[in-house]
Structure formats: structure tokens, C-alpha cells
Amino acid sequence: MSSAASRANTPLRVFITGASSGIGAALAREYAAQGAALGLLARRRDALEALIATLPHPERHRAYAVDVTEHAALARAAQDFIAVNKGADVVIASAGISHGTLTERPEDLPLFASVFATNVDATIATFAPFIGAMKTQAGMRRLVAIGSMAGVRGMRGAGAYCASKAAVHSYAESLRLEMRPYGIRVVTIAPGYIDTPMTSNNRFPMPFLMPAGRFAAQAVRAIDAGASFRVIPWQMGLVAKLLRVLPDFLFDPLFARAPQKARKEAA
């Protein structure tokens, strides 16, 4: 069944982590505008409930106040959503954090662990409870990993974030091959610079900065199409292709002095 047919007959069932702000909230608004029934998960219940109150058909949506690094609680939320909605059509692992990090600073080691726990481990933990149910379903089935342009090449001062998003890209590629026999599409969306709270503190130029709502509309179209990997906006897709093929002897001197994300200084 196509996504269009699915939407015409019954609401899409969409589960989104990191849903209280930024990309996650923008995706929630986009899907809600299209009539979906949403499971929205984030740490802050008040922010989730405030978001749901602004969405069409708020009675269709469920809020889950859960930290994605708490895998058992995340699994319980997934199981509740599946039980209430009799399955899930789209699962989006959107929760993510970013910190400037330096390997030489011992105090940054916990930040490396925290970034990987949220960006990588929680992506896996988000998908895991849904796969069994999806294998038994017909129609549209999507597992969506939110990667980043930062996962294409490593950037100075962003070792944790770049490495975590590169890991998300590779993990989703492996999962895509595993899910192919079951007709479950694994989609990786790699945002460029999107106007969200995560980018608001960046003190360097952000080319092709895109409003979150416009990003969400394009991301949903890519998810519908079952795209394996999509960079948004498209201009950053061209940049990504260039960065992939740029040899180290050119890449290193060009980016060795590039601006870097500020570190989180100890209180």
C-alpha cells in the first residue's frame, strides 16, 4: 500500500523521539498536519503536552516523558504506542545532542560518552522494539535515522558529534540491508544547517540555513519515498558529495583552521 493510500484510509502511526523541540517538533507538526496519530517522546512532559495542544486532533497523540538513554523506559513507550495504535508505520529517531569536544581535555570524556549514548545507542534502542511488529504489518513501514552533514567528514572541535553521526549513517546502512527482505525501508536523513535550538549557539557562518518547518516538509517527502539517504537542503547534498571525494591532502589544510563549536566549559 502506498503512503498516499495509507493516509486516505487511516491515519499514519508515527513515533518520534526528541519531539519536544527542533527537528523532532517540526516533524511532529508536519505529520500532524497530514492527519497522523503521533507518539511523541522527550524528557520534558510539559513541553510535549504544550506541543500536542497546538496540533490538529490532539486526542490522537500520546506524550511519553522518557530519556532516550533509559532503554527499558523507551521500550515500554514503544510497546504502549504499538498496543494503542495496533502497530506503527513510521519510527523516527530524532533525539540528538551536540557539544564541542577536545580529546586532550579529560573533562570532555564524559561528553563523548553522553553524545554517543544519545545519538547512537538511543537510535538503536528506538528502532529495536518496533521491528517485530513491523515485520507482521503490511503497507508503509519506515525506520528513520536522523544523521547529519557532520557525519560526512570529521571537523575540528566536534569529534564526538561528527563520529556519532558517522556511526548513525553506517548503522542505518547495515539495518537497511537487514530489513530489506521484509520490505521495511530504513531512511537516513542528513540535515545541513537547520534553524533549531541546537544551531542557535553556533558562532560561525551556517550556509544554506533552513527553517525547521521547511526541512520537515522535505524530510517527510523523502521518508514517504523510502529514500535510503537524503541530505537536506539539496545544496548541502552537493557539498556532501564534494567532501566525500576531497582527498586528505586538500581537506586537511582547508579545514584545519575552520571555526569550531564552542566547548561546554565546566561549571
Q: Which residues are catalytic?
A: 161
Question: What phi-psi label fits residue 25: left (phi over 0), alpha (psi between -120 and 50 degrees) or beta?
Answer: alpha
Q: How far apart are CA 179 and CA 162, in angstroms?
A: 26
Residue 233 grid coordinates = 537542503
* CB-CB contact of 44 with 65 (8 Å): yes
Residue 49 grid coordinates = 503536552
Burial of residue 74 (number of CB atoms within 10 Å: 0-12, 13-18, 19+) = buried
Q: Is the dihedral of CA 112, 237, 31, 33 positive or negative?
A: positive
Residue 198 grid coordinates = 541546537
